[in-house]
């Protein structure tokens, strides 16, 4: 190989590695998607229907459900979006969900909360987040769902987060094992 071609090859390889490094060092957004299937009733006596696409409360009483949320350590939660069905303007007919941090001392800290509107199949969001930085060395995270009526139901929740350039690639590409 001629010296000029060898130089070009070395330069191309160097640029490729440089580009790869630049891409991997970029900050960005990630998403943790929690389906209806993940929610379980708070008590074994609660009646519920859950086909994976939606969870509902057929009696309208004992309305609480919980689901785990698996977020990458060091990420910052930026938004919680709740997908629901609610077409009733009756005050007690609503669905709501909140994101909680389990403080591992039989207490929790509420990070975000979202309540349904009356728009049928719809979604609402909360982008003002408390305790937004995920610390899996000290805490664990979960959702609590309230289906206060048999005429509303939940489809799922998407938790959006941002990560910094210093967060390891293996962490920021994290996929839930739920």
Report, in Å, the least distance between residue 34 CB and Ca ion.
Answer: 17
Query: From CA 125, how far away is CA 4, in angstroms rounded?
Result: 58
Report, in Å, the least distance between residue 67 CB and Ca ion.
Answer: 19
Question: Closer CB to Ca ion, residue 70 or residue 93?
Answer: 93
Question: Closer CB to Ca ion, residue 78 or residue 88?
Answer: 88
Token digits of residue 44: 């074994």
The residue from 67, 74, 75, 93 that contacts Ca ion (CB under 5 A) is 93
Per DSSP, the three-state class of 108 is strand
Question: Closer CB to Ca ion, residue 38 or residue 77?
Answer: 77
Token digits of residue 171: 């962490």
The contact mask relative to Ca ion for 33-72 (x = CB under 5 A, - = no) is ----------------------------------------
Report, in Å, the least distance between residue 148 CB and Ca ion.
Answer: 9
Helix%, strand%, coil% for the chain, nearest 5:
15, 40, 40
The residue from 33, 76, 78, 88 that contacts Ca ion (CB under 5 A) is 88
Token digits of residue 5: 């071609």
141 Cβ contact list (under 8 Å, min separation 6): 68, 69, 70, 71, 99, 100, 101, 102, 111, 134
Q: Please calculate the CA angle 129-50-44 and round it to the nearest 5 degrees.
A: 85
The contact mask relative to Ca ion for 112-141 (x = CB under 5 A, - = no) is x-----x-------x-x-------------
Tell me the residue nearest to Ca ion as measured from the CB: 128
Element (H, E) at 156: strand 153-163
Contacting positions for Ca ion (CB under 5 A): 86, 88, 93-94, 112, 118, 126, 128
């Amino acid at each position: 190989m001629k010296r000029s071609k060898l130089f070009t090859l070395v330069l191309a390889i160097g640029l490729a590695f440089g580009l790869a490094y630049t891409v991997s060092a970029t900050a960005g957004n990630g998403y943790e998607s929690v389906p209806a299937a993940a929610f379980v009733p708070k008590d074994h006596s609660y009646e519920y229907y859950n086909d994976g696409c939606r969870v509902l409360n057929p009696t309208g009483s004992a309305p609480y459900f919980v689901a785990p949320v698996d977020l990458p350590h060091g990420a910052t939660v930026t938004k919680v979006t709740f997908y629901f069905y609610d077409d009733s303007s009756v005050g007690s007919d609503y669905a709501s969900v909140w994101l909680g941090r389990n403080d591992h001392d039989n207490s929790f800290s509420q990070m975000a909360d979202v309540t349904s509107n009356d728009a049928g199949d719809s979604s609402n969001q909360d982008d003002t987040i408390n305790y937004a930085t995920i610390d899996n060395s000290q805490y664990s995270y979960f959702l609590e769902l309230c289906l206060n009526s048999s005429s509303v139901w939940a489809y799922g929740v998407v938790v959006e987060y941002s990560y910094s350039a210093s967060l390891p690639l293996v962490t920021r590409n994290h996929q839930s094992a739920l």
